[in-house]
Chain A
Amino acid sequence: MAKDESAIKVVLVLVIIAAFSAMLLAYVNQVTRGPIEENKRLEVIRAIEIVLKGLPVYTVPDEAKLMEIDNSPIKYYPATAEDGTVVGNAIIAMAPNGFTGEFPVMIGLDNTGKIIDTYVLEHKETPGLGDKMTHEKFKGQYRGKDITGTNWKVKKDGGDFDAITAATITSRAFTDGVLRALEANKALMEENQ
């Protein structure tokens, strides 16, 4: 360690180190930005295939369409058959108030408004607890349900869904997110009529 340094040298060295770090990070950011965006796009495509499984031949637009429900942004990918009729919809809604903030959930619906499957795009819920929302035992409950005829709450709150053991908050957030997507779908279906 150099001793007896002047204040100017101290400041200068720190500034140089910080500037060099900034340049390096700018470079790494430039290199990785493309692959990161590509990964996110592939993740969405993979998710659409999962949540719309079982539908006959369909195409989805490359870019998501946007709308809002309860001041929360909704992205959706309408699936259309060859003749242009809507056969289903993949909707991304934000699940509010999870254990570590909100997280995006994708829900696939057929043209009668029934859930085909659900997929959590990214989350920071507790590993080993909250992340069980991606497991079959939990998300299987949501399959085939639609907005009417189901009480969209966890059993603890008087609803129809079994919460994950020790992760009620996550289960609640997931259910609210799915409900938001269903409301979005309802609005879209009314628009189409």
Chain B
Amino acid sequence: MKLLDKTKKAFFSENPVTALLLGLCPTLAVTSSAENGIGMGLSTTFVLIGSNVVISLLKNIIPSKVRIPAFIVVIATFVTIVDMGLQATMYDLHKTLGLFIPLIVVNCIILGRAEAFASKNSVMDSFWDGLLMGLSFTFTLFILGAIREVLGSGAILGYKFIADTTPTILLFVLAPGAFITLGFMLVGMNKISKALQGGK
């Protein structure tokens, strides 16, 4: 039951994007389609799990004065591994996401979880925290990307469901669409998390 509670927390009341408003740069930039959202989310999840586990292992060794540079080195290492790994295994996905992967280094969610959670908790807890936070980030990006793709390109996961000639709302693929969709999503997600809390 503890895990269910944690999951609920990670997806709703402590959702990194819709409740804490962290990591908005990748959130807004890559979610022009659902596929990009999933790819970015899963890459971030991998980095998050890796950095959380390593930082939690090193928490008694890293001096507090240099903890931020040390965290950044660990995170940057994992990001570079993801970048090279994707290029070697999923070249096509890397073609779309390549630009955004180096940006994971400066994603506040990862540094935030390292500072607030992994540096104070056990390795197992940090692993679960990384996994749940990462999946919740992926979930949020997927929803955001799906809404924008449906409205902006008339497609879902690359499959077009309307004729090529039908005009779509181009705005939703462009940057303003990301802000507008995110705004509505914040309302919806906060309503859901309020309802979940009220039901307890």
Contact = CB atoms under 8 A, between A and B. Distances in A.
Contacts of B62: 1-2, 13, 17
Interface string A44-86: 0000000000000000000000000000000000000000000
Interface residues of A, number: 34
Given A36-B84, A128-B32, A2 B173 contact: no
A165 B58 CA distance: 51
B interface: dominant SS = helix
Contacts of B91: 36, 39-40, 43
B66 A21 contact: no
Interface in A131-175: 131, 137, 165-166
A18 B71 CA distance: 10
A interface: dominant SS = helix
B173 A32 contact: no
A14 to B, nearest CB: 5
Interface stretch (B7-15, B92-100, B125-133, B136-144): B92-100
Nearest to A24: B77
Interface string A1-33: 111010001100110011001001100110110
Nearest to A165: B170
B70 A25 contact: no
5 contacts: A24-B77, A24-B81, A25-B81, A43-B91, A128-B32
Interface of A: 1-3, 5, 9-10, 13-14, 17-18, 21, 24-25, 28-29, 31-32, 35-36, 39-40, 43, 100, 122-124, 126-129, 131, 137, 165-166
Given A13-B70, A14-B70, 18 more contacts: A1-B59, A1-B64, A1-B67, A9-B63, A10-B65, A14-B69, A17-B58, A17-B73, A28-B84, A32-B84, A36-B87, A39-B91, A40-B91, A122-B98, A123-B95, A127-B36, A128-B152, A131-B96
